[in-house]
Amino acid sequence: MKGIILAGGNGTRLLPLTAVASKQLLPVYDRPMIFYPLNTLVSAGIRDILIIVSPEHAGSYLNLLGSLLRKYGINVSFVVQKEPRGLAEAFILGEDFIDNGPCTMILGDNLFEADFNDAIQGFERGGRIFAKEVSDPERFGVVEFDRATNRVVSIVEKPKAPKSNYAIPGLYVYDAEVIEVAKRLTPSGRGELEITDLHNYYLEKGALDVRVIDGAWFDVGTHDSLLDASLYVREKDFRSRFHPMIQESLAEFNQEFKRIISLSK
């Protein structure tokens, strides 16, 4: 299993913060946002990770994460997305990296409390996505379940009249077929390759598994959600649940940075 973190985009809803930094490098309490999805993948046993970044911020990601986790056997590589063309494009950009195997993609601005180890390591074929009950489902892709059988009936992107309160958070597991499926997608009215179209392809062929998750989930796209995520991380001591390899690498990074600063004085 390989992992992709999508960390491109413009983050316009977080201006002026994103005028000077990538959204996924903004702080969530005591560490850059990117470490939360990175921790989700590492905690699920993934050791090969591709981060998709925008051209103007590629250097910042390389400076932060270039060799940070190498000593722990975690290989992090990068690819530049020249302009955002939809979430599904990530699988096309990552074609060589995926290399005919299964892949988990997580959005770089999504923070999860849930443990995905079993769901990811137990994956075999088809597609597997997740559903979380929320109060504002119209902001997300929405899953409609058959009440009698709990079978997925439909998936609709940002519906005006949601048929359920179950939103699809930004973590998706797919087999290698997803690359060719993504290549065949037709851009939507907003000119993007929609991740919902991938979900529906697998749903229609009877190969999509949807699992309901518990625990906190933050889709950090606004100033309020950025603050809410930071407060939650602090109040629940969320960082104590980070994988030891991530914690140790962060501690080493801080020490080395302090050493370099002291030498420059």
The first and second tokens of residue 222, run together, are 């606004």
Q: With pLDDT > 90 as the criterion, what percentage of the chain qualifies?
A: 82
Ramachandran category for residue 53: left, alpha or beta (phi over 0 → left; psi -120 to 50 → alpha): beta
- Domain map (residue ranges) of the chain: 2-264
Smallest CA-to-CA distance from 5 within 29, 22, 30 is with: 22
Res 150: pLDDT: 77
Q: What is the pLDDT of residues 214-263, one digit of tens each?
A: 999 999 989 999 999 999 999 999 888 899 999 999 988 888 888 888 77
3-state SS, residue 89: helix
Which numeric CATH code is attached to 2-264?
3.90.550.10
Q: What is the pLDDT of residues 186-222, one digit of tens each?
A: 998 888 899 999 999 999 999 999 999 999 999 998 9
- For tokens 């989700």, the residue is 40
Q: What distance, in Å, lies between the first and last C-alpha atoms of the chain?
A: 45
Q: What angle do CA 162, 167, 169 make, to 5 degrees?
A: 155
Identity of the residue numbered 23: K
Query: What is the arithmetic mean of pLDDT over 89-116?
Result: 96
- d(C-alpha 251, C-alpha 246), whole Å: 9
Res 11: pLDDT: 81
Rg of the chain on CA atoms, in Å: 18
Residue 120 has pLDDT above 80, yes or no: yes
Q: What is the pLDDT of residues 141-183, one digit of tens each?
A: 999 998 777 789 999 999 999 999 999 999 999 999 999 999 9
